[in-house]
Amino acid sequence: EAGVAQSPRYKIIEKRQSVAFWCNPISGHATLYWYQQILGQGPKLLIQFQNNGVVDDSQLPKDRFSAERLKGVDSTLKIQPAKLEDSAVYLCASSLDWTALEAFFGQGTRLTVV
Amino acid sequence: QQQVKQSPQSLIVQKGGIPIINCAYENTAFDYFPWYQQFPGKGPALLIAIRPDVSEKKEGRFTISFNKSAKQFSLHIMDSQPGDSATYFCAGRSGAGSYQLTFGKGTKLSVIP
């Protein structure tokens, strides 16, 4: 079974630039999550989709972050403009349903803002 | 507000030792407590999980002990191996209506031969 695919693996940008991350969840998984993992901390939920609808985006900094899930499958997370404090690993995860009993994570995208 | 406090931040044990990682939670609405294991350059992967109506759960060399009254739970790794070297995260799942995981800050475990 193919896992959660993310790209790119690494990205370095200057502050105030924009960046986008892509995620392809496990086939058939209805729920998709984007997490931010700052070095030395646990993953923090940014946004949760159920199919192509947003379930929770209460911790998403909406002035600069946006996310969409196209046709309930792939998802993109965008940051515009980036700040230094956005440097982190952005993890995409998916689960079969909305109960979050098991989330399958991708390898993440390591973003460095300089 | 940090809802799941995890300790220690790092842990070094010798092969065969029994590392113990502790977590405490504040949110009484949590109804499910998973542990995730993360190797460098990889995403976290579910290791073992427990519900609050159970005091202990074992899967292979991994055991969760749960104390509902104290709002604490811990992970024990029996006969630890160098391959267990990873970062471990505890988490709590909020209940019905909005199932979300809140993670602790993680414990970096090193098992030396």
The CATH number of whichever domain residue B45 belongs to comes to 2.60.40.10
- In terms of residue numbers, what domain contains B50? 32-79
Residues in chain A closer than 8 A to B102 (CB atoms): 45
Distance (Å, rounded) from C-alpha B106 to C-alpha B10? 8
B95 pLDDT exceeds 90?
Answer: no
Total domain count, chain B: 1
Task: Return all residues near A52 (Cβ < 8 A) that are at least 6 apart.
Answer: A69, A70, A71, A72
Measure A79 CA to nearest chain B CA, in Å. 21
pLDDT of residue B1: 47
Residues of B with CB under 8 A from a CB of A: 4, 6, 32, 34, 41-46, 49, 89, 91, 93, 98-106
Is B5 inside any structural domain? no
Q: In angstroms, rounded to a whole number, what is the distance separating the alpha carbons of residues B79 and B97?
A: 40
Q: Give per-residue pLDDT as tens, A22-38.
A: 999 999 999 999 999 99
Domains of chain A, start order = 5-98+103-107 (2.60.40.10)
pLDDT at position A71, please? Answer: 86
Which residues, 6+ apart, have CB-to-CB distance to B98 below 8 Å? Answer: A55, A56
In one-letter notation, the amino acid at residue A88 is: A
DSSP helix/strand/coil, A17: coil
> How close B6 gets to chain A, by Cα (Å)?
10
Q: Which residues of A touch B43 (CB under 8 A)?
A: 4, 91, 93, 105-108
Lowest average pLDDT, out of A58-62, A66-70, A97-101, B8-12, goes to: A97-101
